[in-house]
Structure 1
Amino acid sequence: MKLIIVAVLYLFFQGANGQSLNKLTIPNGSINYFTAGQGEIVVFIHGGQEDYKVFIPQVELLSNEFQVVTYSRRYNFPNNNEIKGEYGVKTEADDLKALISMLDKPVHLVGHSYGGSIALEFAVNNPEMLKSLTLSEPALVNWLNDIPNCGSWYETVQEKLINETKDAFVTKDTTLIMKELFEFFAGADIQNQIPPEVLSMLKANLREMEALVNSPSGFDSPSPEDLKALDMPIMILTSEKTMPMLTCTNSKLIEIKPQATHHHLLGAGHEMWMTNPKELSVYISNFVKN
C-alpha cells in the first residue's frame, strides 16, 4: 500500500506544476492561492505537510461548474513566512477569513485532515460566511481522550508525532525529521522509496510541521459540542483504509451529525484526494448543487 501511495504521489506532482498564483497579504506575511471558474465558490483547505497542489485535480474537474479556490496555508509552499508566536487552527482560521473576505461572498468550504480542523474552527466562529461545510477526516486529536478505546492514540500523537519530531527539528537534519514523520504517518521510514521530486515537495512543507509541534495549541480544535451546534449543510468524507486514530474521530463525527451527508470510500486511505479525485469531485458537485 505504501508503494502504491508513492506511485500516486509521483504521478500527481508531475502534473501539478505551472499554475499562475495570486498572493494575498495576511498579518506577518502573505499566502498564495489559485482560482479558476465562475459561480458558487468552493474553497479547499489542504492537510499537514501539503500545499495548494493537492486540490489542482479538483480545480480541473469542478471549475466548469464553480469558482474553485485552492491555497497554500501560512507556512506551506510557496509561502515564505517566518514562524512567529503561537500557532494552530485559530491562526489558520484568521488567514482563511482574510481569503474568504477577499472573495466577498459566502463559500462552500472543504477541509482535509488538519485542514478539516481549520474548516471546523472557521465554521464555528464565522457561520455567516459559509453556505456548506465538507470535512474529510479532520485531525481532531484532542477528541481522542474522550472516545472509548481511543485514548492511547492521543498519547501516541503526543510522544511519537509531537515530542520526537520536535527533538528532530532541533538537529536541523531534514532526513531525521522526515524519518520521524514517515514512521508516524506511514508506519516506516520510506524516504528511499520516494522519487526525489516528491521528497523535495514534502521537505518544502516542513515549516508548517515545525510550527505545529512547537506550539502548545498546535493540535487543538473545536469541541464535539461546537460541531453539534452548527446548522449549515454538512458533508463528511471517510475512507476504509485510514489511520486507526482517524477511524476513532471519523466515527465520532458521524455520531454527532447523523443527519449529515456521508460518503465512505471503499479501498481508499487518508490520501483520498490524490487517489480518488474523480469520485470526490462528483460528491462535491452534487452536494454544492443541492
Structure 2
Amino acid sequence: MMGNASYWGPVARKFADRIRLSAPDLPGHGQSPDWPGTPDFHTHTTRAVAPLIDRPMDLIGHSIGATVALRIAVAAPEAVRSLTLIEPVLFAAAPDPANDAVMEELNMLVETGQNAEAARRFLAIWGGLDWSSQTETGRERLARQMRLVVAGNKALMRDDAHILREGGLEGIDAPVLIVMGEDSPPVIADIADALAARLPDVGRARVPGAAHMLPITHPAQVTELIGLNLDRA
C-alpha cells in the first residue's frame, strides 16, 4: 500500500537463480489502473492477483498484500505451495481499541478532505517515511492514495472477505511463515498470535530492529526467511 512493485527489487535479485517472482502493483499504485470504486478495494485487489495463479504457487505478501495472499489461500488452498505472510494487517483477527481509534481518525481526515494530514499520520506509523523529505509530487501522490488506504482498512477491520470464517485458516495445509518486525505496531503481534493459533503448519519469525516496512529496510533477513519457507515446501 502506497508503494509499488519495485520495492521488491532487492528480494527479487537475491532469488534470481531460484524462483520467478511476479510482483503486481496494487490498484491505484505504480503502473496499475486505479480502483474503480466497486467492488470493495480488497476484493478488487484479490481479483486482480488471482488470475496470475495457474498452478500451486508460493505466495508472499506484505501488509495488505499478506491479507490478499491469505484470502486466496483460504479460498483455494490447493493453489498454494507455501505462504509467507509479512506483517499481515488483518485487524479483525485481533481487535485493538488503540489501533481502531487511529483508523477512525484517518477515516475522518479523509472524509473531511484532509488527505495530506492523513497520509502524514499514516506513514509515521506504518510507512517509516519522512513526510517532509518527500517531493511535492510525491506528497500529492501519497495524499491521493489515502482513500485507498481507508477503503482497504475498513474491509480489514470488519473482515468483509470472511478470511476468518470457521475452518478457513485450518484448511490451509501448505507451510506458512509469519514474519514481523521487532519494532512494529503492537497490533501486528496480536494478529500474528491469532492467525498462528489456527494454522496447522506455521512458523514465526521476528526481525530485530525492523518495523513494518522490513522488506525494504531489511531485505537480506526477509529474503533468508522466505527462503526457509520455500525449503519447507
Which amino acid is the alignment partner of residue 178 of structure 2? Answer: I
Question: Is residue 118–residue 146 contact of structure 2 (8 Å, CA) maintained in 1?
Answer: no
Among 125, 130, 138, the alignment partner of 2:75 is 125
Which amino acid is the alignment partner of residue 34 of structure 2? Answer: N
Q: 1:205 to 1:86 in 2, by over 3 A?
A: farther
Q: 1:158 to 1:166 in 2, by over 3 A?
A: same
Q: 1:139 to 1:224 in 2, by over 3 A?
A: farther
**SS at structure 1 position matched to 2:22:** strand
Quote the residue 1:98 is aligned against.
Answer: 51
Quote the residue 1:156 is aligned against.
Answer: 101
Q: Deviations over 1:202-255 (max 9, x none)?
A: 653555531342479532431174223322211111221001221221222233
Deviation at 1:110, TM superposition (A): 0.6
Q: Percent identity?
A: 20
Q: Deviations over 1:161-188 (max 9, x none)?
A: 3232332xx35xx53343342355469x
Q: Could you say which structure has the larger radius of gyration? A: 1
Normalised to the residue count of structure 2, the TM-score between the two structures is: 0.83
With a CA cutoff of 8 Å and minimum separation of 6, indicate the structure with the bigger relative contact order. Answer: 2
Deviation at 1:111, TM superposition (A): 0.8
- Runs of 5+ consecutive residues of structure 2 not aligned to the other structure: none
Quote the residue 2:164 is aligned against.
Answer: 223
Quote the residue 1:277 is aligned against.
Answer: 219
Deviation at 1:118, TM superposition (A): 0.9
1:78 equivalent to 2:23? Answer no
Quote the residue 1:33 is aligned against.
Answer: none
Deviation at 1:258, TM superposition (A): 7.2
Which amino acid is the alignment partner of residue 49 of structure 2? Answer: L
Normalised to the residue count of structure 1, the TM-score between the two structures is: 0.68
Quote the residue 1:176 is aligned against.
Answer: 117
Q: 1:79 to 1:207 in 2, by over 3 A?
A: farther
1:66 equivalent to 2:66? Answer no
Among 210, 217, 229, the alignment partner of 2:147 is 210
Separation in 2 of the partners of 1:243 and 1:261? 20
**SS at structure 1 position matched to 2:61:** strand
User: Which range moved further: 224-233 or 236-245?
Assistant: 224-233
Quote the residue 1:19 is aligned against.
Answer: none
Q: 1:250 to 1:264 in 2, by over 3 A?
A: same
Q: 1:98 to 1:207 in 2, by over 3 A?
A: farther
Q: 1:111 to 1:154 in 2, by over 3 A?
A: same
Deviation at 1:283, TM superposition (A): 1.8
Deviation at 1:108, TM superposition (A): 0.1
Question: Is residue 66–residue 86 contact of structure 2 (8 Å, CA) maintained in 1?
Answer: yes
Deviation at 1:107, TM superposition (A): 1.0
Root-mean-square deviation (CA, aligned residues, Å) is: 2.7
Which has the larger strand fraction? 1
Q: Deviations over 1:64-91 (max 9, x none)?
A: 1111111101221122325322423222
Separation in 1 of the partners of 2:207 and 2:223? 13
Which amino acid is the alignment partner of residue 92 of structure 1? Answer: T
Question: Is residue 27–residue 35 contact of structure 2 (8 Å, CA) maintained in 1?
Answer: no
